[in-house]
């Protein structure tokens, strides 16, 4: 049975999408069957694995709001073994449309239940908010990965994210656990980056991945080519570190 992992942090630009795309792609290249579920109306994960948003006919919105099954919406990505549930800007309306519904927090969970056993890993790329879309992801997930950017104010807002996590644990999904914390955009030349690593490790004892993602130009270029980084430049540092992370997530290192 597949393991479902939400990648969330209500801050934008902390590398949620970069992590969902590259971790998912590495696991698929390692022979795992992976599904990437894009639930950000910006659809960056969709573009990031080589799917043109303009050509998407049905997206996660149709599942969450119009009652389509995930099977009707899943498309192959540019990477072998990696399937995608695309998102388009249409999803921006879902947050409000869900509010009045009885199963507003568990729509995604219900949809995933039907296809969960077809995959080894399912990654949910969350939008930069703690609204109903992210709550749906946490309700559907077995665990959460939190990417944290090695910047000033790195820990700011994490309290709210953890409150939401505990709220979901208590009311909607008692099995939800913290999978791990991923430090991103590390710059070893700055004391600040080093301080943030220390602080985050103190705060999340034993939960921080050994793989720390450095600032890497290849990682920021790859999405504009619609490719995960290891397809774009396999030997880049960004590619190597996400490989390291994939091994940690699989528990083989
Ligand atoms: P989020 O999904 O949390 O908003 P993204 O994954 O879209 O964040 O990353 C924000 C921006 O930073 C993107 O342009 C992305 O390409 C870039 N980026 C992400 N990780 C790195 C990195 N390690 N080094 C350089 N640029 C990065
Ligand atoms: Mg994103």
Q: What is the CA radius of gyration of the chain?
A: 17
Q: List CB contacts of 181: < 8 A, sequence separation 6 or more.
A: 145, 146, 147, 148, 200, 204, 207, 208, 209
ipTM: 0.99
Q: How many CB atoms lie within 10 A of CB 218?
A: 16
How do residues 82-100 score in pLDDT, each as one tens digit?
999 999 999 999 999 999 9
Expressed in angstroms and rounded, the spacing between residue 42 Cα and the centre of ligand 2 is 7
Structurally, how many domains does the chain consist of?
1
Note whether 148 and 183 are within 8 A (CB). Answer: yes
Mean pLDDT, the chain, integer: 96
Report d(CA 234, CA 220) in Å as an integer.
14
Q: Closest Cα to atom 10, ligand 1: which residue?
A: 13
Over range 111-129, report the average pLDDT.
97
Domain that holds residue 152: 3-250
Q: The pTM is what?
A: 0.98
Residues framing ligand 1 (Cβ under 6 A): 12-18, 44, 128, 184-185, 213, 215-216, 219-220, 223, 238
Residue 113's CATH number: 3.40.50.300
How do residues 122-154 score in pLDDT, each as one tens digit?
999 999 999 999 999 999 999 999 999 999 888
């Amino acid at each position: 049975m597949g393991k479902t992992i939400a990648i969330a942090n209500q801050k934008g630009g902390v590398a949620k999408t970069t992590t969902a795309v590259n971790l998912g792609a590495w696991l698929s290249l390692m022979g795992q069957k992976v599904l990437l579920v894009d639930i950000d109306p910006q659809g960056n994960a969709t573009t990031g694995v080589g799917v043109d948003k303009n050509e998407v006919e049905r997206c996660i919105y149709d599942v969450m709001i119009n009652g389509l099954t995930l099977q009707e919406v899943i498309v192959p990505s540019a990477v072998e073994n990696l399937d995608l549930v695309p998102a388009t800007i249409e999803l921006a309306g879902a947050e409000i449309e869900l509010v009045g519904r009885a199963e507003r927090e568990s729509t995604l969970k219900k949809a995933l239940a039907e296809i969960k056993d077809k995959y080894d890993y399912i990654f949910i790329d969350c939008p930069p908010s703690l609204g109903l879309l992210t709550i749906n992801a946490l309700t559907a997930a077995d665990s959460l990965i939190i990417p944290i950017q090695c910047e000033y104010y790195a820990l700011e807002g994490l309290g709210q994210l953890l409150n939401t996590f505990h709220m979901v644990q208590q009311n909607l999904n008692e099995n939800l656990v913290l999978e791990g914390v991923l430090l991103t955009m590390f710059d070893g030349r700055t004391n600040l980056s080093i301080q943030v690593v220390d602080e985050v490790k103190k705060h999340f004892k034993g939960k921080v991945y050994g793989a720390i993602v450095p600032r890497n130009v290849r990682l920021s270029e790859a999405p504009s080519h619609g490719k995960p980084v290891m397809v774009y430049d396999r030997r880049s540092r960004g590619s190597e570190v996400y490989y390291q992370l994939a091994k940690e997530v699989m528990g083989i290192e």
